[in-house]
Chain A
């Protein structure tokens, strides 16, 4: 108990609390501006943490990232500009809810279930970290290959219209992912000698283009005047969430568990977690037809999932110094600078600091609720701006975001091109979500397939040789073939009945 007291003394210090509050506001601002990511927020904080003690330094990063990831949902819901690939999974639902006057509920759900997910992930981190990190160490490229394939199968579930159109979109995304030289062979593909294309298609500008620019184009070209967004009553941010929690308890728990589990795996992470959770949610929903039309159920599950994944990523980072994402990669560096060397002994050598970090996790996820509430209220007037004023403003935000990601104008060009592509896709009822999924998972699929094949000297059965890989492989193939087998069985039964 003494350790807890010491840890609490480290955290509940006015200076540390001040740092937490300041970095929370900083993270909220960075996250709410599309194109500025949580990773960027962390990198910007690093020079400042030089001058801090270990606990406030880590507290600043933990708080800022948790905030930034939630705040990314604000432009997603209000302007259809997802800030991260993981919030792209449910951007359509959130945006359509806003369009029908339920913006408060959408953002409230993103806020509350992000906090729940974050808290769940933190508790798992506190109690099971060493044991779970061991499991993460068993995953090699074969296992990740199957996980990515499972993730790609989600395309079927995130497609509201016909599967064929979903497939077109997915294949487009996979094609985009092949551009550039960041592939296992190191050879430039489809770059035509262009330096910028050699770097590959930058993900954030493409995503802003597909979602936000296409929306701007649609507003500009719309012949029917846009319907005025009904005003929400303003008291629904938290109240509706209690209802949602009671209505979707299973979804919440499932999202938490899926997110944490995928977050722990250094090769998977929050991006896959949100998509898989959204797909699971739709698959087991009583009303799958409502997904993608402004339904809160998927938002609840995927929102909980990506935040718990963010906490989960700290498990391999703390226990083995293995970064699960770009944020934990920076954090590991900061830990070393502060003399807290990640490793299994961290729990023995430095328990006060580790428990103080855990407390910061809990605090950060709690402080998110009031600050998020303020941010949502603060962002609301944006909806009453007439489109003729709002759209140019969004365009400016888009341009800033696309530029900021690599400090290059190529990002802006890419964003505009993808905006036009996105516009034509949606005009022809081709959903955008599967393309994003393809762009996220394409490079991982290729990387894990090629490296597995090199390791196995081309023997394809190696994908089943390792126990976890074999299990995942059989499971994936079952998911694919089960509907077919069921169909055949039913046909046979009918045929037998007919004779």
Chain B
């Protein structure tokens, strides 16, 4: 969801190609049996107790105030046509 100018496209392509080019280095490595690192400390099963807490009204008010467009408690966007 970005519109880029031609200038941006050229600039980004150059830089992106450079990074992708770097990753060619990986070809030197034997990666078949290597486990990926998704989180560094191998955490597991981090769970929260099922207890409900409501936000206070000041929070709800402030959050809506930050919206670019809002009305009657709703966030507004241009009409979506399916």
A and B found bound together: no
